[in-house]
Amino acid sequence: MRLKAKNIRYFSFVVAVIIALPLPLGIFTGFYIWLSPYVFLNSFLAKTGFTLFNLLGIIFLFLAVYRHRWICRYACPMGVICDTSSKFSKKKKGKFPRLNKSILILALLISLFGLPILSVLDPFYIFNNFFEVLSPEIALLVFLQISGLIVVILLNVIFPHSWCTKICPLGGLQEIVTDIKKSVIHPKKTDQKGMILSRRFLISGLAGLGLGLAFRKLISVPKIKKFRPPGALAEEDFTTTCIRCGNCIKACPTKIIQLSVETSNPFLFLAPEIGFDKSYCLPECTLCGDVCPSNAISKFNFEKKKELFIGTAKINLKNCLLTQNKECDRCKFYCAYNAVQINSKNIKSFPEIDAEKCVGCGACKIVCPEQVIEIVATEVVA
């Protein structure tokens, strides 16, 4: 039985590696993060909505009720990394304080304030992000993304098995689930007082409430509208609830979603942003909404996409070929939303944008031979 669990875990590890690789996996991009009930609970408490994929997190939570640390035994790819790195430790047992349940409580309470920031401690998340090492992106960003797994490995080398048994909040969640199960099945045998009122729990609970309140009071998100993926929540909610998993960036077929390097405000840092330098948002694509595990980008379909405004196109008519009596209708031809009309005035023709139809997909900007079109913000956050 033990061997079987190990084999399943190795199989899961291989699948997790394939999913984390930069491959065109469509709606399965970064799929393993959906399996984590820790990520689900953080996003759920931050009230970012609920999709069918979230059911996976709930199912895994129930499996943890069925069997103690079911996710660790059978599914978590981090277990393989931790076991392997712990073998390099000179110590047999490491003295490390047990923090997993406290980190979990801290994270969930901060999430209650709409800030699921400690989702970054999820083992599926850390594992997935490590594969950004294969990305051609800016070195510092990649270093930040891969540093999680490096820290976990170092911790295990110094304090063997410390990540899985003492730190991992997903492990802590499974332990709490088992504690609750025991207290329901054997109420007399369980020290419920100890479980609920332990000093460490109380401190982390208070710290979570304090930090959540402090973040909300002290840090405000600038009211400048950025170009976010279609379906993104309103600016403030988006920047605070996006967990920076990078799924939307990996899934976007035209690679127009990038990590922001804006450092003027902590909530803007690493928030996915659209840049129209090389390509545009394909009208038939719904992937960023499909793969977002925090629901910072809500799921949308083709019909709904017509109402999801990224920005709006603005044409500099002075340099437009049409206004110089030369032939061109590329912006009109390539607009999938029928938002460009060719009008005429004083025997001069000119293109005009219908602001109600233009979603700011950027197609006209990319195809304009004179590069006279830019995408501007449609909305300033009040």
Interface residues toward ligand SF4, by CB under 6 A = 229-230, 242-248, 251-254, 256-257, 272, 281-282, 285-288, 291-292, 294, 296-297
CB of 374 to ligand SF4, least distance (A): 18
CB of 347 to ligand SF4, least distance (A): 39
**Which residues in 296-324 are b (16+ Cβ under 10 Å) and which e?**
bbbbbeeeebbebbbbbbbbeeeebbbbe
**Cβ distance to ligand SF4 smaller for residue 64 or 257:** 257
CB of 8 to ligand SF4, least distance (A): 27
**Cβ distance to ligand SF4 smaller for residue 204 or 294:** 294
**Cβ distance to ligand SF4 smaller for residue 167 or 281:** 281
CB of 304 to ligand SF4, least distance (A): 11
CB of 295 to ligand SF4, least distance (A): 8
**Cβ distance to ligand SF4 smaller for residue 244 or 330:** 244
CB of 287 to ligand SF4, least distance (A): 4
CB of 363 to ligand SF4, least distance (A): 11
**Cβ distance to ligand SF4 smaller for residue 174 or 294:** 294
**Cβ distance to ligand SF4 smaller for residue 156 or 312:** 312
**Cβ distance to ligand SF4 smaller for residue 96 or 334:** 334
In angstroms, the Cα distances linking 110 to 106, 145, 215, 238, 266 are 6, 22, 9, 16, 16
